[in-house]
Amino acid sequence: MVSRYFTDRLAKRSITLLGVSSILIMGLIVVFIVHEGMPAFREVGLFNFIFGTEWRPSNGQFGIWTMILGSVAVTLGTLVLVLPLGIGCAILLAELAPFRIRSVLRIIVETIVGIPSVVHGLVGMALFVPFIRNTFGGSGYGILPAILVLTAMVLPTVVSITEDNIRSVPGGYKEGSLALGATHWQTIWHVQLPAARSGIGAAIVLGVGRAVGETMAMIMVIGNSPVVPHSILSQARTLTGNIAVEIMYATGLHESALFATGVVLLVLIMIINSCAFILARKGKSYA
């Protein structure tokens, strides 16, 4: 009895220590990024830094508005594709596909989740960029191939989480709907999807968070030009790409501006995570 009690207390304290350590480490990282970025905010000004459209470190111009627009354009474009494709594939796996086909598709989805982002970038350079160049002209690099690559990266995660949430809907909901005379599709659309809406929303927000934070694949296909994108075929640069491309040789105010870019990116990620938390709470209140 004493041994079991001691083990239980030790496990609780160990888990508490690990949890507090994780929070402390994350807090120190945030403090470090903010501290390193503050000189840029003071020198350039918060408004000029965020809404400035010129990024020319050699001339002392540090405006990240073009990168914000690039990140938002790529993320929204990815969301437009992922939303119907992800929910449709999840419905197929959860309700429509035969068992054998479902098993094969699930293995494929889980395998794609583990593919490194650099491989997705290589596929985008080898397939999407030449196709866009031959079809629409130009260099082929830009927002469109970035959207296609990000869709391929985010879709498996959204499909997997959405399928799990559809399957977690109590079976009585489906049985009751069918017993009242609804068709299978009516039951899926009007009963199961609304019941799983909080989990589906969280899956989509998680996918958006990955889209915002993706770096390597974006560097390889988006063109990395810090200009205001005027169309889906325009080249652009994302916030993460801006940091990765220039951090190796940046010094002084330039380096601080890149850390300040990280602060802005951190705020965007926090907003996205807050949206996921709100969606989860709403889903619990409706349940």
Does residue 247 fall inside a structural domain?
Answer: yes
One domain, residues 190 and 122: yes
pLDDT of residue 259: 92
Angle, helices 143-167/197-213, rounded to nearest 10 degrees: 150
Sequence-separated (6 or more) residues with CB below 8 Å from residue 166: 90, 91, 94, 95, 192, 193, 196, 200
CB-CB contact of 105 with 97 (8 Å): yes
For 130-151, letters b (16+ CB in 10 Å) and e give eebeeeeeeebbbbbbbbbbbb
| CA-based nearest residue to 50, from 20, 33, 30, 71 | 71
CB-CB contact of 102 with 110 (8 Å): no
Cα of 286 vs its chain's centroid, Å? 26
One domain, residues 193 and 241: yes
Cα of 79 vs its chain's centroid, Å? 9
Give pTM, 2 decimals.
Answer: 0.83
Does residue 208 fall inside a structural domain?
Answer: yes
pLDDT of residue 147: 92
pLDDT of residue 148: 92
pLDDT tens string, the chain, 287 residues long: the values are 556 777 777 888 888 888 889 889 988 998 999 999 899 888 888 888 888 888 888 888 888 899 999 888 998 899 889 889 988 888 888 888 787 888 888 888 878 877 888 888 898 899 999 999 998 888 889 899 999 999 988 888 888 888 888 888 887 888 888 888 888 888 888 888 888 887 787 788 888 888 888 888 888 898 888 888 888 888 888 888 888 888 888 888 899 999 999 999 888 888 877 776 676 666 554 44
CB-CB contact of 261 with 243 (8 Å): yes
pLDDT of residue 286: 44
Does residue 60 fall inside a structural domain?
Answer: no
CA quadruple 36, 38, 44, 49: dihedral, nearest 10: 90
One domain, residues 154 and 281: yes
One domain, residues 71 and 150: yes
One domain, residues 184 and 142: yes
State the number of CA atoms in the 13 A half-sphere of 132 facing the CB.
Answer: 24
One domain, residues 82 and 122: yes
CB-CB contact of 217 with 141 (8 Å): no
Say which CATH number the domain at 81 has. 1.10.3720.10
pLDDT of residue 24: 92
Range of the domain at 12: 2-50
State how far the Cα of 123 lies from the Cα of 221, in Å rounded to an integer: 10
Adjacent-strand bridge partners of 236 = 223
Structure tokens at 160: 């997997």
Does residue 253 fall inside a structural domain?
Answer: yes
Structure tokens at 231: 């169309």
One domain, residues 20 and 87: no
One domain, residues 77 and 219: yes
CA angle (161 as vertex; 158, 165 as ends), nearest 5:
130
One domain, residues 135 and 268: yes
pLDDT of residue 92: 86
Q: How many domains does the chain have?
A: 2
One domain, residues 186 and 80: yes
What sections of the chain are H helices per DSSP? 2-44, 46-51, 65-91, 99-113, 117-123, 129-136, 143-167, 171-179, 184-187, 193-195, 197-213, 216-221, 239-246, 252-286
One domain, residues 74 and 42: no
Structure tokens at 223: 């063109």
pLDDT of residue 218: 87
One domain, residues 116 and 181: yes
Does residue 57 fall inside a structural domain?
Answer: no
